[in-house]
Amino acid sequence: MQRSNEHYPAGESNQDQLEVERFIKSINQYLITRKLSQRKGCEGLEITIGTMTKYLRGEVNPFDVKTRITRNLARELGMTPDALYAYYETGEYKDSVTIQDVESWIKSTSTTDDLPRILNALSLSQTQGQSKIKEVKVEVTKPKKPSKSEVERFGHLMSQHFKAVAKAEVLSTKEAWQLFLDQDYAKGMSKEDLEIALDVLRGELTLTIDFPLKFGATYGRCPITTCLKTMSSLEIGQELKELTTKIERYCCYKLTGKLPEEVTT
């Protein structure tokens, strides 16, 4: 884009003065946003400090500047040369960028250094597009309420694992319980909830869904299984893992209306 052929004598045209002022603003914007001194800014525009001084003094109309320099300034400002010329003439940047603008910028202004950023932007755009497609296609399924027998089995398996830890570590039940209490998550539990946990681990309390819901509302997850995971290197059994996931997903959805992964993101 070039200015019309009409000539504006220096000092006699308001339009000419406006164009010069906008040119100065563009250069200052480049220097400020990039946090550059005038001398360092010259490197990006490929000009001398003397030329930069003339520009900032308002001695040069932007339409008299070499195309190469305008391209460099447009690149540093993140726009096309046409958009920059439009700003000089109207004082406004284009509201939108067309595919033709992008193509023009790539051909006339971008360098090989810009290629990684262009490819990264394309990759990000494709990823966002795919995410939107997935969001449309995937519907959140309300977790099914665990059965009474599943919750009871959950408590039984926790008790079994607790006893297995005591055996593997050669600990008495009292010592194993102290090890449980030493876990970071246990330190945040109330005395009442610790008594419930102890009864469960001893196998003296039959779990109902009310207990996981209470723990979920208070601690965000089941503190018993969380401590069991950290108190020993003994791996949690697959059945206990699956029941923990199922019960925690149900409790989280019941309490918040969201699944655990949605709550943490």
pLDDT digits (tens, 9 = 90+) for 99-114: 666 666 666 656 666 6
What domain range includes position 205? 148-264
* End position of a domain, from candidates 111, 130, 158: 111
Instruction: Label residues 66-103 b or e (16+ Cβ within 10 Å = b).
Output: eeeebbbbbbbbebbbbbbbbbbbeeeeeeeeeeebee
pLDDT band at 7 (very low <50, low <70, confident <90, very high): very low
Is the domain of 100 the same as that of 154? Answer: no
Integer Cα distance of 43 and 226 in angstroms: 57
**3-state SS track over 196-216:** HHHHHHHCCCCCCCHHHHHHH
**And the tokens for 108?**
């006339």
Domain boundary among 59, 88, 111: 111
Least confident of 18-22, 54-58, 103-107, 183-187: 103-107
pTM as predicted: 0.47
Q: Indicate if 94 and 195 belong to the same structural domain.
A: no
In a domain, 20, yes or no: yes
The count of structural domains within the chain is: 2
- Residues 26 and 102 placed together within one structural domain of the fold: yes
Same domain for 105 and 157, yes or no, is no
- How does pLDDT run across 173-193, given as a tens digit for each residue? 999 999 999 998 898 899 999
Q: What span, in angstroms and rounded, lies between the C-alpha atoms of 213 and 190?
A: 16
- Tell me which DSSP letter residue 19 carries: H
| Structural domain contains residue 52 | yes
* Cβ atoms < 10 Å from Cβ of 157: 20
